[in-house]
């Protein structure tokens, strides 16, 4: 038995060490692991002498060579210092830093019911169609695609998107100008870097808008100017030095109007006059319930508009796939900026999306969900007409949400808090204004978010919050 | 045989069809004309299923009877085949033609043979295991995961990685400190932004190093200082104001030595003394052929080392999944920086990777490819010993490449160009030095890159370049 006297001796005598060495598979690996753990956990301290390999081998009843090999490995890794003829010690720099290992986070809290804006019904995600598309993609993709070389994204998806967007949204696209992204936010971050690197300092963003977009632009080093929105949608930027504007022409987010025809022309004229760029965020352009949707603004002038889309609303945000259709002049710089930022969608999922589009399963899913959301919107509006005539419904029959304008005196924050107390997640309008002070209050009702079987209960909960 | 999916749905959803139906006189006539045109033009192919009259009527906002009449007329004319109770299809003999949407593209051009560094043999990608993992992920994931809320990445993958990295690489990890990225470059870009936003101006990067890493750091606004590499690997940074260094301890890239034990301790001591951070790029740490691999440097001090890994070498770069294990103090800022930059891996692929690890298929694949690459390295070294004794092989028996040092007077560029003329892609050492002037010449031979059945031919081509 090794004499007691130092921490290292206590450790060498410990039951934990014996158990570790006996329990695990390879004895050498087990011993190494136990020593590493002891050093990290403070059971062995820097400069502690550890038993000779001979002594420890006897103590543990294992071969001396095994202990010597473990010591050599740990010396190579910097845990131990072994000098010929001298006692092996814990290396001076190998501290016990195990200290605080934070617990695994609690699972996403979230409220039981949700009318959050911007979310589709993810329970409707076409799992079998997606799996079939993945299978076909994996079955047919040449291996060379698994080591992609084109930073714009998989060519087959860019080709498919060019066709799809031309057909469904009137976008003027060719595959060479399509950049695949990890969703709209990723694309916006790339564009902001491009504009900032090109010497611009400011971007105009609709007021109100999705607040994350302001944060992304600021994060990329741009100053954000509010671009007012009236009944005809975004106004034409008037501030000097503004050459980029982010707009939502098909369905203003969150207010829900469509960009008026004259305003479309005026925005394009502005971009041409200043040599500027419009970023068209077509986040829910496939969901229009009353008419044929308006074609994309980009179709009017593909040289001055970046068209941006995503599967986050049509399929699921978790897929992290979006796209930009770029003016020719931005293709190279935006591709380089994407490479520098390093985000990219899995090529297998890119091929699967192309496959989903090629087989028509994507369109079928869009049609199916379009009917579902349209019905939900109708139900919501019926309920509101009956129960809450004091609320004004804003916006066209489109998309995944409506804004309910509150009458003066109604307290937006109190309503949102009351909803939360009833277990219903819901947002007010305040976070979406650049400066909420003095702005009209409202509630954003994302009727697409709940699973189908919970929609009735969610609406009922909402109604009781308003009562 | 009838195709599973059909472009008839694309067609039914198209703006052209809507316009046609609205523009022309009678709606029935317009619809009939549009269907005839689509069949003649190849927009609809023989045996394509077309939407039910009910679905198309809803889609177009016209009466169902109108659509039914148009279908009946076209069936009478031989364009469609309608049987009671069955789907209406384009008639087998209906005209139509070529214009098919292209299948997945042919392989990337490039040179026929490749010994490029940093690439695994993507023909070995475990397609069926990956598909099985995707199937299980899609079959079991709760829908809520399809709208992810934790910007660090899917918790199940972070948990699996914490265990896997602890076991295989001696990393001290807990899921709370794991950040899923779109690969190493994405993680490095995030870290550089974090350091720059925290007030740092400079990063030390090994010289030589992977040149894209220098570009990423510069793109994120940092100045890059070369960190010299000697026989013991990276030296300790000495310049004032440097508090971050990017190193490759297990297998210096590209030179191939391992970081010496004393150097490991000295680097940790440096990081502690200046309150700095080491970024450990463990790009090929799972591939060591002579010994047990050295454990990660991070294990010595998880508070001062960011551990970074990826599946780009073990599975395929096209998957775009990597990870950072962060010191506690960086978790929040790095997560925020990731959100601002907007890149994120598909949650389905994250779950599939967790599944591949859980079932052991990941380890099996690593073991299988480890044997393969080890054999290839042996073959390469045999060949070189026999044919080119004037070349010095650098580096330990590990990884996916070796560096061949050229004797003074040998012309690196000329050898690379000669290889290219023989159809062999290969890199010299020059691009990897911060300043190649006056540096020793060399060739980087990525023996993992070729498909297995082409390895012999690739080696032969390489030998003839050297002759």
Q: Do residues B83 and B127 make contact, with C-beta atoms less than 8 angstroms apart?
A: no
Q: Do residues A206 and A251 make contact, with C-beta atoms less than 8 angstroms apart?
A: no
φ/ψ (deg, to 5) at A60: -95, -10
Judging by DSSP bridges, how do beta strands B178-181 and A392-394 pair with one another? Answer: unpaired
Q: Given an 8 Å threshold on Cβ–Cβ distance, is B186 in contact with A344?
A: yes
Q: Match 């190849």 to its residue by tokens.
A: B42
Q: In what order do the strands lie in the sheet with B427-428?
A: B392-394, B402-405, B442-445, B427-428
φ/ψ (deg, to 5) at B109: -60, -100
pLDDT tens for the 467 residues of chain B, in order: 233 334 455 666 666 666 666 654 578 878 887 887 777 666 677 677 788 888 888 888 888 888 888 888 777 777 788 776 778 888 766 654 333 333 333 333 467 899 999 999 999 999 999 999 999 999 989 999 999 999 999 999 999 999 999 999 999 999 999 999 999 999 999 999 999 999 999 999 999 999 999 999 999 999 999 999 999 999 999 999 999 999 999 999 999 999 999 999 999 999 999 999 999 999 999 999 998 888 999 999 999 999 999 999 999 999 999 999 999 999 999 999 999 998 999 999 999 999 999 999 999 999 999 999 999 999 999 999 999 999 999 999 999 999 999 998 899 999 999 999 999 999 999 999 999 998 999 999 999 999 999 999 999 999 999 98
Q: Given an 8 Å threshold on Cβ–Cβ distance, is B349 in contact with A348?
A: yes
Helices A211-219 + A184-197 axis angle, to 10: 40
d(CA A401, CA A253): 9
B321 contacts: CB under 8 Å, gap ≥ 6: A346, B180, B181, B182, B183, B310, B311, B345, B349, B350, B353
Distance from CA of B295 to the nearest CA of A (A): 6
Q: Given an 8 Å threshold on Cβ–Cβ distance, is B130 in contact with A138?
A: yes
Distance from CA of B439 to the nearest CA of A (A): 27
Burial category of A2 from C-beta neighbours within 10 Å (exposed 0-12, middle 13-18, buried 19 and up) = middle
Q: For residue B84, count other CB atoms closer than 10 A to its CB.
A: 4
d(CA B310, CA B171): 14
Maximum distance among all Cα pairs of chain A, rounded to whole angstroms: 93
Judging by DSSP bridges, how do beta strands B80-81 and A442-445 pair with one another? Answer: unpaired
Q: Which residue from A239, A443, A329, A35 is spatially nearest to B300, judged by alpha carbons? A: A35
pLDDT tens digits for A278-291?
A: 999 999 999 999 87
Q: DSSP letters of A2-49?
A: PPP-SHHHHHHT-HHHHHHHHHSSSHHHHHHHHHHHHHHHTSS-TT-B
Q: How many CA atoms lie within 13 A of B402 on its CB side?
A: 23
d(CA A171, CA A308): 10
Q: Do residues A124 and A452 make contact, with C-beta atoms less than 8 angstroms apart?
A: yes
Burial category of A467 from C-beta neighbours within 10 Å (exposed 0-12, middle 13-18, buried 19 and up) = exposed
The three-state secondary structure class of A323 is strand
Q: Given an 8 Å threshold on Cβ–Cβ distance, is A363 in contact with B10?
A: yes
Structure tokens at A169: 């949204």
What are the beta bridge partners of residue B247? B280
A165 contacts: CB under 8 Å, gap ≥ 6: A171, A173, A296, A307, A309, A325
Of B15, B318, B343, the CB nearest to A167: B15
Q: Which residue from B267, B127, B110, B279 is spatially nearest to B203, judged by alpha carbons? A: B279
Q: Given an 8 Å threshold on Cβ–Cβ distance, is A348 in contact with B319?
A: yes
Q: Given an 8 Å threshold on Cβ–Cβ distance, is A36 in contact with B107?
A: no
Structure tokens at B388: 């080119």
Q: Match 């440096």 to its residue by tokens.
A: B270
B128 contacts: CB under 8 Å, gap ≥ 6: none
d(CA A445, CA A465): 13
Q: Which residue from A398, A321, A397 is spatially nearest to A137, judged by alpha carbons? A: A321
Strand locations in A152-311, DSSP E? 178-181, 202-207, 223-230, 233-234, 244-247, 277-281, 305-310
Q: Given an 8 Å threshold on Cβ–Cβ distance, is A159 in contact with B265?
A: no
d(CA A141, CA A428): 46
Of B105, B147, B189, the CB nearest to A156: B105
Q: DSSP letters of A161-188?
A: HHHHHHHHH-----GGGEEEESSHHHHH
Judging by DSSP bridges, how do beta strands A442-445 and A402-405 pair with one another? Answer: antiparallel
Q: For residue B131, count other CB atoms closer than 10 A to its CB.
A: 18
Q: What is the ipTM of this complex?
A: 0.83
Q: Given an 8 Å threshold on Cβ–Cβ distance, is B15 in contact with A366?
A: no
Residues of A in contact with B5 (CB under 8 A): 358-361
Structure tokens at A308: 């941006």
Strand locations in A66-110, DSSP E? 80-81, 89-90
Q: Which residue from A303, A279, A297 is spatially nearest to A181, judged by alpha carbons? A: A279
The three-state secondary structure class of B41 is helix
User: In Å, what is the CA distance from A364 to each residue of A284, A289, B7, B8, B18?
Assistant: 16, 16, 10, 10, 17
Of B148, B170, B341, the CB nearest to A341: B341
d(CA B326, CA B314): 22
Structure tokens at A449: 């978010």
Structure tokens at B263: 């150097």
Q: Match 């697409």 to its residue by tokens.
A: A448
Q: Match 């454990």 to its residue by tokens.
A: B295
Alpha helices in A220-346 (DSSP H): 261-274, 328-341
pLDDT tens for the 467 residues of chain A, in order: 444 345 455 666 666 666 666 654 578 888 888 888 888 877 777 777 888 888 888 888 889 899 998 998 888 888 898 777 778 888 877 765 433 333 333 333 467 899 999 999 999 999 999 999 999 999 989 999 999 999 999 999 999 999 999 989 989 999 999 999 999 999 999 999 999 999 999 999 999 999 999 999 999 999 999 999 999 999 999 999 999 999 999 999 999 999 998 999 999 999 999 999 999 999 999 999 987 777 899 999 999 999 999 999 999 999 999 999 999 999 999 999 999 998 999 999 999 999 999 999 999 999 999 999 999 999 999 999 999 999 999 999 999 999 999 998 899 999 999 999 999 999 999 999 999 998 999 999 999 999 999 999 999 999 999 98
Residue of A nearest to B58 (CA): A371
Residue of B nearest to A359 (CA): B5
């Amino acid at each position: 038995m090794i004499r007691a006297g130092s921490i290292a001796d206590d450790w060498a005598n410990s039951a934990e060490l014996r158990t570790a060495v006996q329990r695990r598979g390879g004895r050498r690996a087990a011993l190494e692991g136990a020593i590493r753990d002891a050093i990290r956990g403070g059971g062995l301290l820097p400069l502690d002498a550890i038993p000779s390999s001979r002594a420890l081998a006897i103590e543990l009843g294992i071969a001396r060579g095994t202990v010597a090999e473990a010591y050599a490995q740990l010396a190579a890794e910097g845990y131990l210092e072994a000098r010929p003829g001298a006692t092996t010690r814990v290396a001076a720099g190998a501290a016990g830093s195990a200290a605080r290992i934070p617990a695994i986070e609690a699972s996403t809290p979230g409220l039981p019911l949700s009318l959050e804006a911007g979310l589709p019904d993810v329970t409707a995600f076409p799992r079998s169609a997606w799996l079939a598309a993945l299978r076909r993609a994996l079955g047919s993709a040449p291996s060379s695609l698994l080591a992609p070389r084109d930073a714009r994204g998989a060519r087959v998806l860019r080709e498919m998107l060019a066709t799809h967007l031309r057909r469904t949204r009137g976008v003027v696209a060719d595959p060479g100008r399509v950049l695949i992204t990890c969703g709209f936010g990723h694309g916006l971050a790339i564009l902001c870097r491009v504009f900032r690197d090109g010497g611009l300092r400011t971007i105009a963003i609709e007021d109100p808008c999705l607040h994350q977009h302001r944060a992304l632009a600021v994060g990329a080093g741009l100053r954000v100017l509010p671009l007012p929105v009236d009944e005809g949608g975004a106004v034409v930027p008037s501030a000097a030095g503004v050459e980029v504007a982010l707009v939502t022409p098909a369905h203003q987010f969150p207010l829900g109007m469509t960009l008026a025809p004259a305003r479309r022309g005026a925005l394009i004229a502005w971009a041409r006059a200043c040599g500027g760029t419009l970023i068209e965020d077509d986040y829910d352009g496939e969901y229009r319930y009353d008419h044929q949707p308006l074609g994309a603004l980009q179709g009017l002038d593909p040289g001055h508009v970046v068209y941006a889309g995503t599967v986050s609303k049509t399929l699921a945000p978790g897929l992290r796939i979006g796209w930009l259709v770029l003016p020719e002049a931005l293709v190279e710089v935006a591709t380089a900026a994407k490479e520098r930022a390093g985000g990219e969608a899995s090529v297998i999922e890119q091929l699967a999306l192309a496959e989903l589009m090629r087989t028509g399963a994507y369109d079928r899913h869009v049609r199916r969900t379009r009917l579902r959301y349209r019905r939900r919107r109708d139900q919501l509006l019926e309920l509101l007409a009956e129960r809450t005539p004091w609320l004004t419904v804003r916006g066209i029959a489109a998309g995944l949400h409506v804004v309910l304008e509150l009458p003066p005196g109604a307290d937006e924050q109190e309503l949102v808090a009351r909803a939360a107390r009833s277990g219903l997640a819901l947002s007010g309008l305040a976070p979406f204004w650049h400066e909420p002070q003095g702005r009209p209050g409202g509630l954003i009702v994302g009727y697409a978010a709940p699973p189908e079987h919970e929609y009735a209960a969610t609406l009922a909960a909402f109604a009781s919050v308003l009562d």
